[in-house]
Amino acid sequence: MAKGRGKRDRAVKRQYEMLPYPPRDPKDEAKRLIEGSPSHLDELNHYLFAGRRDFSRPFRALVAGGGTGDAAIMLAQHLANRGDAGQVVYLDLSTASRKIAEARARARGLTNIEFLTGSLLDLPKMDIAPFDYIDCCGVLHHLEEPEAGLGALVAVLDDGGGMGLMLYATLGRTGVYPVQNALKALGGSADTAEQVRLAKSLLKDLSPNHWLNRNRVIGDHKLGDDAALYDLLLHPRDRSYLVPELLLLLEGAAMELVSFIEPVRYDPEHYLKDKELRKRARELPDGERAALAENLSGTIKTHSFYARKVGGVAPGPAKFDPEMIPFLKDGNADVLARALAARPALTVHFDTEPAQIDIPTGAAEFVKRIDGRTSLRDMQAAMPLSWPDFRARFAPAYKMLNGLNLLWLKSG
Ligand SMILES: C[S@@+](CC[C@H](N)C(=O)[O-])C[C@H]1O[C@@H](n2cnc3c(N)ncnc32)[C@H](O)[C@@H]1O
């Protein structure tokens, strides 16, 4: 066992008992549902089940390290909206976090979540497998051996299922680890409030040139929230991943990447204008393309992605096939079509950083026709165009909008 491991294990559990993260107030459930990636039901259906999963059939999801409940609540609400065949199992070490997640479920009247307290490392002996889907966000990078954690998740994943994961990304966290190390070197305190006070004092005097102060995508320590500051700078154990390290982690667990979210951020051509450089980027294998994109972006701070078992039977991402129905994530098709028609490029923000996305010809025309019910085939027939012409005209628009995670496909 690595030296100090037991102490670090206890410190992690203590942190999330003292400061459940992310901070959530169950009263807010009356006002809004927090939705995000991964684990939005339509999104995971698109990426892992080719857009074809029938959620009126039994579907079991596990949220491992469920924290204060964001993913479990979103999944359970989405499943409840579709009927009563979907079940969510929530598992976390922290009883304080579980209490908040349970209160949120009660506030929504959700009865399709089973709440468990324990370590995800014990999943293989818990006799609750298999799961069609596993969410594990912001957890594996806090384990002593993330490989063992991922292995435990794989052991309870159905062969036809998949996972939505989030791991810290190294480049976007520039400046975080030197400050974590400085705080560790200064000795900390057994008292959480005192630790936070010392960290705030250190931050006050931190040079404006320190990478943490220059890093525009990291701001959790400026929110005025102690749980967020603690999670960023005082965590007893965290590590971050570059794309090649993440791919190795997956490979070691006999898993493979299905897609990063948002896909466009991991497309190196998005960062390159020069034709020759774009061509060279295009010729690289997928993993190297994603690694190149990460290096070109320089500011990706978390990697959110879907993965499935190597050799499993999970169908993978939906394809631009005639029978598929395109639909917008939060879709007002008219507003989006007007925005696309009005300009040659869209400015979007990834973690507050602006990015320009070229708008392909036909994007507005395509979006105008999206109503969440009409298949690509019916759109094509109404135009009228042959399928190859329709495809050639609109597949680039689909790629752009899907790349931004605005558009998914589902079967009728
Ligand atoms: C940063 S929070 C993320 C919570 C949630 N997944 C989210 O994204 O909002 C990490 C959570 O993982 C839990 N955790 C850490 N190690 C764990 C383990 N071995 N088994 C289960 N939960 C664990 C912590 O208690 C904490 O609630």
Domain residue spans in the chain?
5-169+241-309, 172-233, 325-410
Nearest atom in ligand 1 to the alpha carbon of residue 135 is: 6
CA of 309 to the centre of ligand 1 (A): 23
- Least reliable range by pLDDT among 163-167, 188-192, 318-322, 373-377: 188-192
What residue type is 241 in one-letter code? Y
| pLDDT reading at 379 higher than 90 | yes
356-377, pLDDT tens digit by residue? Answer: 899 999 999 999 999 999 999 9
* Residue 146: band (very low, low, confident or very high) from pLDDT cuts 50, 70, 90: very high
Is the distance from the beta carbon of residue 165 to the nearest atom of ligand 1 less than 6 Å?
Answer: no
Q: Of 92, 141, 166, 220, which is best to mutate to test ligand 1, by the most ligand atoms within 8 angstroms of its C-beta?
A: 92
Q: Of 62, 120, 139, which is best to mutate to test ligand 1, by the most ligand atoms within 8 angstroms of its C-beta?
A: 139
| pLDDT reading at 190 higher than 80 | no
The average pLDDT across 306-321 equals 95
CA of 138 to the centre of ligand 1 (A): 7
Is the distance from the beta carbon of residue 86 to the nearest atom of ligand 1 less than 6 Å?
Answer: no
pLDDT at 142: 97
pLDDT at 222: 82
Cβ-in-10-Å burial (0-12, 13-18, 19+) of 187 comes to exposed
| pLDDT reading at 331 higher than 80 | no
The average pLDDT across 46-74 equals 97
pLDDT over 70, % of the chain: 100
Is the distance from the beta carbon of residue 92 to the nearest atom of ligand 1 less than 6 Å?
Answer: yes
Which residue's CA lies nearest to atom 23 of ligand 1?
65
The average pLDDT across 68-83 equals 96
CATH class of 5-169+241-309: alpha beta
pLDDT at 4: 86
* Residue 279: band (very low, low, confident or very high) from pLDDT cuts 50, 70, 90: very high
Interior CA angle at 403 toward 287 and 305, to 5°?
A: 50
- Least reliable range by pLDDT among 150-159, 224-233, 289-298: 224-233
pLDDT at 382: 94
CA of 67 to the centre of ligand 1 (A): 5
